[in-house]
Amino acid sequence: MSSEARGEVVCFEHESEVLKFNPLGDEFRRKIYVYLPPNYYKSDERFPTVYVLAGFAGRGKSFLNDSAFTPNFAERMDKLILSGKIKPMIAVFPDCFTFYGGSQYINSTATGQYEDYLTQEIVPFIDANLRTIKKSSARAVMGKSSGGYGSLVLAMRHPDLFGLSCSISGDCYFELCYLPDFPKAFRAIAGDPKRLVQKFWNEDERKSKNDFDGLNIIAMSACYSPNGTDFDLPFDLKTGEIRQEIWARWLSHDPVRLIEKYWQNLKKLRLLFIDAGLRDEFNLDIGARVLSKKLKEFDVPHIHEEFDDGHFNISYRYNRSLELISEHFES
């Protein structure tokens, strides 16, 4: 591919007021990587924008990693734009990583105000510094796994900002995507959540088989069941018994339940796309079916697709989301 057919990745340094006093002491000066389409500098044209959200334990920069046999996101955009499969667009890769591994892109007293960070700071910052089309009908949000969850929730709550949303294997129907991992997490945490978190930050310490399951449940607890600047786990640390009152707080964040509150907002979207692999290791194919059924009950227009694969190594599915986003952007 010639240099003229390639876009450019630029990096902004942004100092956040929203994250400045976050309870985990995470960095509030963050890099925002942005893909600019090949013709960005050749005209005064304004471009639609897609915000691409990383999965749990991922950062925005990870979308640009070099990998054998698989294009990174910038290379993927170049190929799709050059082939005419998608319109030229700007792609933004926010960094919402936390000490626990992720934020779910929502506000929490235990992690920080990451929903506000994105909606009140990053979107206005990008619009102020780049030639974007400053309309929700030309602004999409997409992601896989936890990034898919964030894409759903941000569109539900902020259709005035994000008029298009794509969730690839996004967290939903919590009974099947989280609950089956509770026993593994219980064993990994072994009565000491903070000890397990520190284990991940100790590069010399070997990680055990179920440690990541434990870390994931800790991070989700910090997002879904914060207790001041701490958090409540959804099971008893001594017995593993489900703490029903805490589990109920988790369920209140489930996109399947949130539809009942935000269905009118969802009807404002130009695109709502949900997909998942038929062999998803976290049962998110079933979650997507339940989510689609609930959307139909409220007459919310959406596209639901399934594909023959699991949860991992499915970056090729980004193409389908980008093509649909391109089709549904306002001209």
Hey, how many other C-beta atoms are within 10 angstroms of the C-beta on 268? 14
Six-digit token string for 78: 């170049």
The Cα-based distances of 307 to 18, 56, 220, 260, 271 in angstroms read: 39, 22, 27, 27, 19
**Per-residue tens of pLDDT for the chain, all 331 residues:** 656 689 999 999 999 999 999 999 999 999 999 999 999 999 999 999 999 999 999 999 999 999 899 999 999 999 999 999 999 999 999 999 999 999 999 999 999 999 999 999 999 999 999 999 999 999 999 999 999 999 999 999 999 999 999 999 999 999 999 999 999 999 999 999 999 999 999 999 999 989 999 999 999 999 999 999 999 999 999 999 999 999 999 999 999 999 999 999 999 999 999 999 999 999 999 999 999 999 999 999 999 999 999 999 999 999 999 999 999 999 7
**Could you say which DSSP state residue 165 is in?**
E
Say what the pLDDT of residue 209 is: 87
In angstroms, the CA 163 to CA 272 distance is: 9
Instruction: Please tell me the pTM assigned to this model.
Output: 0.97
Domain spans in the chain, listed from the N-terminal domain onward: 3-172+256-328, 176-251
Say what the pLDDT of residue 105 is: 98
3-172+256-328 homologous superfamily: Alpha/Beta hydrolase fold, catalytic domain (3.40.50.1820)
Say what the pLDDT of residue 89 is: 98
**Could you say which DSSP state residue 231 is in?**
E
Say what the pLDDT of residue 5 is: 81
DSSP assignment of 48-95, as one string?
-EEEEE--TT--GGGGG---TTS--HHHHHHHHHHTTSS---EEEE--
Helix locations, the chain, DSSP H: 73-82, 114-116, 123-129, 146-157, 174-177, 182-189, 193-201, 211-224, 244-251, 255-266, 284-297, 317-328
Say what the pLDDT of residue 2 is: 59
